[in-house]
Amino acid sequence: MPLVAAATAPSRLFALVPCAGVGERAGAAGPKQYVDVAGKALVAHTLEALSRVTRLAATLVVLSPQDAAFEQHVVGFQGWTTRCGGATRAQTVANGLNELLARGARAADWVLVHDAARCLVRAQWIDALIDACIDDEVGGLLALPLADTLKTEAQGRVAATVSRAGKWQAQTPQMFRLGALRDAVARAGPDATDEASAMEAMGYAPKLVACTLENLKVTFVADLDLAERLLRTRA
């Protein structure tokens, strides 16, 4: 099911960072995006990587309406912020897409949705995604081919072994045309876990762009420790 860009002007690229969560699984005292990792807030590392992607026209961070901490933790941010985050990630993304349209983005422009908690992302990985998808009819996402044996569980015991052949772990950014993604997210509803699944439900087949295990999403306490070590090793 091909997508056709309707605009005559060259398509631009925007980043959208949903940043309205509370991060309960990370075990932090507050939202995990503001936890100090290697000397700065977790989300500050994320936005610093995005700032190095020169083809991005702008980065929009979607915050909770109750968020009063972003400017304190990310000093001097040069992108856009809006406090229209929803109760779920999907609602936050949907609201952010509408905000981009209100700020002058077009339906044919590309949007790269990236998790605030993927603070280890590198600009070169994002550039690789753009290079792979900029001429694609649908768009795509960074992902990791699974290497481990997979098990299903029942009552704390292995129920079955699942073949890992052809299975990938979805990462972000995920890059799609704004108009198509807006329609897909609206149809998928508030519980869609990522943009690619919303596009799949519309009949599209997003492109998989191989990335590395290092592009992990900080979710649990142990992830914070690992991110700290990796970022300090880089430095």
- Residue 7 above 50 pLDDT? no
d(CA 47, CA 69): 15
Chain centre to alpha carbon of residue 187: 19
Q: Which two tokens stand for residue 106?
A: 């077009």
pLDDT, tens digit, 9 for 90 and up, residues 148-171: 999 999 999 999 999 989 999 999
From 9-23, 152-166, 168-182, 204-218, the region with the lowest mean pLDDT:
9-23
Query: Between the CA of residue 42 and those of 59, 109, 157, 222, 223, what are the distances in Å?
Result: 16, 28, 35, 14, 11
pLDDT of 234 reads 86
Q: State the pairing for strand pair 168-177/139-145.
A: antiparallel
Q: What is the pTM of this model?
A: 0.92
Backbone angles phi, psi at 61, to 5 degrees: -100, 125
Domains, the chain, ranges and CATH? 13-140+171-204+215-234 (3.90.550.10)
User: Across all residues in the chain, what is the average pLDDT?
Assistant: 93
pLDDT bucket at 2, cuts 50 / 70 / 90: very low
